[in-house]
Structure formats: structure tokens, C-alpha cells
Amino acid sequence: MARRTTPLVIGTALALALLAAAAMASSTVKVKSGAYKGTLGTGTIKITLTVGGGKLKSASLSDLPLFCSSGGPPVVIKFGSAKIAKSGAFSDHTQRKITVGPYKGKVGEKLTLSGKFTSSGTVSGTEKTTFVLNGPHCTGKVAFSAAR
């Protein structure tokens, strides 16, 4: 009789563990409204995310992250709005067009901001910059963190 009970006990325990994992994965994060401020990577570029009504209303970077050159005046990057999932996760995209020179009007960089908010008033994630005209050797990814 013990042999028949053991698989049943193990099966029941496994089913309960899977249900608990599913419940934790689908838990809802209560994202607090307001401005979240922080920095990218080494702290030289500032990030601001504005949340309201359960969605990311806007996000901005104080400068364009550079991965293969440096210099020049700061280029402020602005993202639009994005939906925040029940888990607190979000992803937003933008692009920057070149404003002067022979490539004026062409897309110079594509940026993706993705991360996850917590119920405690923090957010962390990554920012990825793809330099369209310079090719993949200038593409890079940097972590960020911010708090309310």
C-alpha cells in the first residue's frame, strides 16, 4: 500500500508547488504614481519616469548613451507612454532623428527602455541604444535604477 500512496503524495505536492508558483508569477504589483528619478550605469546620465493611472506617462534621459565615442552637447531623449503590466513590467521605444548635416532627417538612433516597477516605489531595468548609421559596433545596453 505504501508504494501506491507515495506517487499520489508526490503528485499532490508537485501540483500544490506549481499552483503556488503560478500565483506568485501572476501577482499584481501596485505601482505608485509620481516621478521616479535615478541614473543609468555609472551615474552620469539621469533618467526620469513619470507614472500615473497605472501607466508610464513619459520617460526621459538627460543625454544619449554613447558606447563608441564621446563629446558634444547633451542630447535629451524623450520616450512616450507605455502600458505597465500587472507584474510591473514595461517596455517603451523611441528613435532620434539627426538634425544637421548630410544625414539630416534620417534616424540616427533607436532606443528601447524596459524594466519592472515594484510596489515599494522603485524601478530597475535596461536601456538599449542602437546606432543605425554607425552600425552594430556602437550598439550598447546599460542598466538603470530609479526611485520615487
The residue to which cell 510591473 is assigned: 88
Can you give the pLDDT at residue 24?
Answer: 52
Residue 138 has pLDDT above 70, yes or no: yes
Sign (positive or negative) of CA dihedral 124, 137, 68, 101: negative
**What are 51-106's pLDDT values in tens digits?**
999 899 999 999 988 877 766 788 899 999 999 999 999 999 999 998 889 989 99
Q: What CATH architecture does domain 34-147 belong to?
A: Beta Barrel (2.40)
pTM of the predicted protein model: 0.78
The residue to which cell 528601447 is assigned: 112
